[in-house]
Each structure stands twice: as structure tokens, then as C-alpha cells.
Amino acid sequence: KAGVTQTPRYLIKTRGQQVTLSCSPISGHRSVSWYQQTPGQGLQFLFEYFSETQRNKGNFPGRFSGRQFSNSRSEMNVSTLELGDSALYLCASSLSEGVGAKNIQYFGAGTRLSVL
Amino acid sequence: GIQVEQSPPDLILQEGANSTLRCNFSDSVNNLQWFHQNPWGQLINLFYIPSGTKQNGRLSATTVATERYSLLYISSSQTTDSGVYFCAVEGMDSSYKLIFGSGTRLLVRP
């Protein structure tokens, strides 16, 4: 079974531009989560989607948004990029049977975004 | 919200040595996972262990949920064990969201 696939692997953008990252979950997984990793803040939760609905959101500005499609693939978008948005963006998928259920998250290889 | 603390922050070992990494968390959890981040950035699942003990080859983990800590044991370390080890938890009140510790950076020297 294929793992979580993230595209692209690397991106270079300039301040003010916008960017869209893509994540394809493991087949059969309906939950997709996004995380940002920076040297200063570590790994931080961005948002989680299940069946095209956002169920939880982290403390990030509105410039960060996401969506999930009917095939469970997800995209996240960052508008008006700032230098501080340079980070490794990781996507995870899980079966997510419900609150309290065994909810193992599997991560993709990430998209490394550099903002110049 | 729930706090996750990992220790030590850095660890240097000689190949063949054993080590114990610790993860403390501040509240009850639904989910606890240990990950190894490889040099390319990917998080590799090691254990899903909200309670109890598990073993996988040279690695084992124990979580004592009532005392809010988890331990990851690495025996007979190899250079390929180098990288950053993360503990992540899903709190009872933070559904579908993993809270990560700051990690333990391990370097295994040949």
C-alpha cells in the first residue's frame, strides 16, 4: 500500500506570493492533518480534515487555509507569503475512527518551502 | 493545553551503546506516538503506545499513563539510529491533533 504522498517536495517563493501544497493520504484513510515544522517553533498543528470537513484548527493566521476533496486528497494554501513561513510542511493521514479510538497518524515526506 | 517535554535534548552515543529517551506529558492522553525523523525530514512511526509496553527489534517503549510519562529504549545503537526522536500526544480535549515534544537529537558515532 502506498504511503502518504506530498507534492511538491521543494518550493522556492518570494514574499507576497501564494503557494498550494498537495497531500494524498494512504488509501482508505479519511483524515488528513497538516503540520508546520520550523527550527524555532518545532512541530505545530495547522488543521485536520475528515470527509471534506475541517474538524480542528491550530493557532495560525487566516493566510493559512486548507481543503479536502471527496477522494480524501487535501491541499493547503498559504497566501501573502512571509519570510517566517519558510518551513517544512508535513501532512499526515489516519483512519480516524472517532474520538478516543486508535488513531495512528502516518506522515508524508514533507514539502520544504523557502520564502525569499 | 497539554504540554509535552522530552529529555535529554541531545544525546551522543558510541555505536553499540544503549539509551533511554523520556517523554513527560501534563494531562491524560488518548494517543501517544513515538517517531524518528530521518535526515530528509520524514517522520517514521516507531510506536503507537498510549499505555503499556511494546517491543520492535532493538527498540522498545513503555508508557505509564497514570504517571504521565513514556520511555523509548534503544539497545545496541547503530549509526542509522541517528536523527531526532519525537514523542507526540493527542489529549483528551484536543481531538485529532497531535502535540509534539521538542525532540531528542541522537548522534551515534561509529
Q: What is the DSSP secondary-structure string of B21-43?
A: EEEEESS-EEEEEEEEE-TTSPE
pLDDT at A93 over 80: yes
Q: What three-state secondary structure class fits B65?
A: helix
C-beta atoms of B103 and A103 within 8 A: no
Per-residue pLDDT, averaged over B28-34, amounts to 93
Q: Which pLDDT value is given to residue A100?
A: 60
Say how far apart CA A90 and CA A44 lie, in whole Å. Answer: 10
Cβ-based contacts under 8 A for chains A and B:
65
Of A55, A58, A104, the CB nearest to B33: A104
Q: Which residues pair with B49 in a beta bridge?
A: none
The set of residues, in sequence order, having a beta carbon less than 8 Å from that of A38 and lying 6+ positions away, is A44, A84, A86, A87, A88
In this predicted model, what pLDDT tens digit does every residue of A19-47 receive, in sequence order?
A: 999 999 999 999 999 999 999 999 999 99
Q: Which pLDDT value is given to residue A97?
A: 66
Q: Which pLDDT value is given to residue A25?
A: 97
Question: What is the identity of the amino acid at A35?
Answer: Y
User: A102 or B51: which carries more pLDDT confidence?
Assistant: B51
Per-residue pLDDT, averaged over B33-47, amounts to 94
Per-residue pLDDT, averaged over B32-36, amounts to 97
Q: Which of B37, B96, B98 to mutate to test the interface with A (most CBs of A within 10 A)?
A: B96
Q: With an 8 Å Cβ cutoff, is B94 touching chain A?
A: yes
What sign does the dihedral A82-A88-A93-A98 (CA atoms) show? negative
In this predicted model, what pLDDT tens digit does every residue of B54-88 receive, in sequence order?
A: 999 999 999 999 999 999 999 999 999 999 999 99
Q: Which pLDDT value is given to residue B94?
A: 61
Per-residue pLDDT, averaged over A55-61, amounts to 94
Chain A residues inside the 8 Å CB shell of B42: 107-110
Q: Are strands A10-13 and A111-115 parallel, antiparallel or unpaired?
A: parallel
Give CA separation, A22 vs A32, A68, B20, B21, B49, in Å: 11, 10, 36, 34, 29
User: A1 or A77: which carries more pLDDT confidence?
Assistant: A77
How large a percentage of chain A has pLDDT more than 90? Answer: 89
Please give the biggest Cα pair distance in chain B.
44
How large a percentage of chain B has pLDDT more than 70? Answer: 99
Q: Which pLDDT value is given to residue B110?
A: 95
Q: With an 8 Å Cβ cutoff, is B85 touching chain A?
A: no
Q: Which pLDDT value is given to residue B96?
A: 82
pLDDT at B89 over 80: yes
Cα-to-chain-centroid distance, residue B103: 8
The set of residues, in sequence order, having a beta carbon less than 8 Å from that of A99 and lying 6+ positions away, is B30, B95, B96
